[in-house]
Amino acid sequence: MLRFLTRRLLAGLATLFVALFLMYLLVARAIDPLQDLRESTAPNKQQLIAARIEQLDLDTNAVVRFFKWVGDLLQGDLGVAWRTGESVSALLGHAIVSTLQLVTAATFLSLLLGITVGIVSALRQYATFDYLIIFLSFLLYSLPSFWVAVMLKQWVAIGFNDFLRDPNLAWLTIAVIAAVMGFLWSLAIGGTTLRRVQVFLVAGVATAAMLAYLQLSNWWLEPQIGPILLLVLGGAIGFAVVGVFAGLHNRRALWTALSSVVLGFVLYFPMQSVFDLDPFGVDGQGAFWILLGLAVATAVVGWVIGRLFGGPDWGVSAKVGVAVSLVMAFLTFVDQVMQVWPPYSKALGGRPIPTFGDQTPGLGGNYWVQVLDSFTHLMLPTATLVLIAFAAYTRYSRSSMLEVMNQDYIRTARAKGLPERVVVVRHGFRNTLIPLATIVPIDVITLIGGAVITEAVFARPGMGQLFVRGLLEAEQEVVMAYLLVTAALAIIANIVADLIYAVIDPRIRLDA
């Protein structure tokens, strides 16, 4: 493993150096920092040109300037944006944070939805649900991102903000939504006609009950999860996790999940006092590390619960405990953020869903207000990227699952009498991820490089906008800083893909 990493890192560094050298020469050739002065009518035009040539060292050969830039880079100096005098490191730092927020949310959601729906579609091959997902994925994949972004701004942001003036859903609307959700769930679950009718009724009633609760509790203006809803959601998720990854017959895993839910419910109340401590105040200093420590502690506690229930297959119980515990912790965190919604909405004039930027200027408030503000600014650009990426991941996971389920070892597993859940989850699902191990890291790096169009539509100051600004302003240091980050991450992504391959597929050895 160490020898493999050493070889790949050395090769990556050599590739990075050559790529940066070529890009430096191309950028130096493509941009002209003197263009505005050449078109100027100022009487001291020649003096201004001479001063800028000296300032930017343009009379030096581009190759020599590149090695000077590398020397400064090795000392931690990325240069200065000469038009504004701002540090390139500061510009890059803000852009990376903004883009990472967007990339993390969009990648996680698109993978979760895309892989899940793709696998279900493959298992329902040639059924109505499969045809519906194929149509939807091709439709979304063909839509231009700028059009999706504009439609989301119009119908989601502006439409929802208008809805909040009088947040009332007609009972007919609730009935229609419940019927549609029941129909979709019946298609996804499949089975006999009786089973489809049962799923339709259960899903429809559950959806109608949820919407009625939101309507009658004034949830739209004062959203919260609260302890009761936390217990209900946690229990439902616990049963779902056990049903998929362990099977409801596995009583040890089921008791692990339920114990994690009850513990999360009990800890909900003292956590309200923890979230009011000073680190979560106005500046929010140290809040991230406290939350990270709590997340690690939550995972450890979930693992211990699973281990205590023991059994020959205690590893499954431990994984279930970790997953359910983290879900309960996440729901508690979301509840705390939602508690500041009323004052946040009031501060924004009752229109809390923004359509541009990555934060509200001069908002103030404590850590939770800042988190909610970041979340609302992420909603629309994240939804744009998720809709496009969801279509691609759905197609990838569906085709991969279909190929895997036709392999000889799947037929052997079924012939041995293994339950279909075990065949799909333990034998099919893991091997389905192998092709995605190559695609996902590269897609993530592509997004970190900047979703230029999406960032432009939502005026989000991320990496894509930083690159465009560098080109338009003829600021070579800014452009090179962007290329340095994206090229380095692209190399790292390929190494990570190889490591993921080795984890997923035991036939691959990195030390061979």
Residue in the structure block whose two tokens are 């049962």: 198
Give a yes or no: residue 493 inside a domain.
Answer: yes
What does the DSSP 8-state code read for residue 363? -
In the predicted model, residues of the chain with pLDDT beneath 50 are none
Which of 440, 466, 492 represents a domain boundary (last residue)? Answer: 440
Domain limits at 17? Answer: 2-90+450-504
The pLDDT value recorded for residue 250 is: 85
Contact assessment for residue 407 and residue 106, using Cβ atoms and an 8 Å cutoff: no
CB distance 286 to 279 below 8 Å: yes
Angle among Cα 280, 284, 285 to the nearest 5 degrees reads 115
**Does 341 lie in the same domain as 222?**
yes
Q: Let me know how long the chain is.
A: 512
pLDDT of 413 reads: 87
Q: How far is CA 474 from CA 20, 63, 65, 82, 284, in A?
A: 17, 18, 16, 9, 37
**86: helix, strand or coil:** strand
Check residue 262 and give its pLDDT.
94
pLDDT of residue 264: 93
Q: Decide: 79 and 56 in contact? Cβ < 8 Å.
A: no
Contact indicator for 352, 156 with CB cutoff of 8 Å: no
- Residue 37 to residues 42, 44, 76, 137: CA-CA distances in angstroms? 8, 10, 31, 50
How many CB atoms are closer than 10 A to CB 111?
Answer: 19
- Please indicate, yes or no, whether residues 272 and 364 belong to a single structural domain of this protein: yes
Based on the fold, state whether residues 63 and 128 are members of the same structural domain. Answer: no
Same domain assignment for residues 302 and 190:
yes
Structural domain includes residue 469: yes
Contact 57, 65 (CB under 8 A): yes
What's the CA gap between 433 and 115, in Å, rounded?
Answer: 9
How many structural domains compose the chain?
2
Q: What tokens appear for 147 in the block? A: 């059009």
393, 412, 440 - which closes a domain: 440
Q: Would you call 506 exposed, middle or buried from its count of C-beta atoms within 10 A (0-12, 13-18, 19+)?
A: exposed
The predicted model scores a pTM of: 0.83
Indicate whether 82 and 158 sit together in one domain.
no
Residue 81 forms beta bridges with which residues?
Answer: 86
Q: Contact, 225 vs 334, CB < 8 A?
A: yes
Task: Show which of 393, 415, 440 is a domain's final residue.
Answer: 440
Q: CA-CA distance, 295 to 239, in Å (whole number)?
A: 22
- Any domain includes 512: no
344 and 406 assigned to the same domain: yes
> Is 395 found in the same domain as 262?
yes
* Nearest-angstrom CA–CA distance, 427 and 412: 11
**413 & 464 share domain:** no
In a domain, 510, yes or no: no
- What pLDDT is attached to residue 364? 77
In angstroms, the CA 167 to CA 218 distance is 8
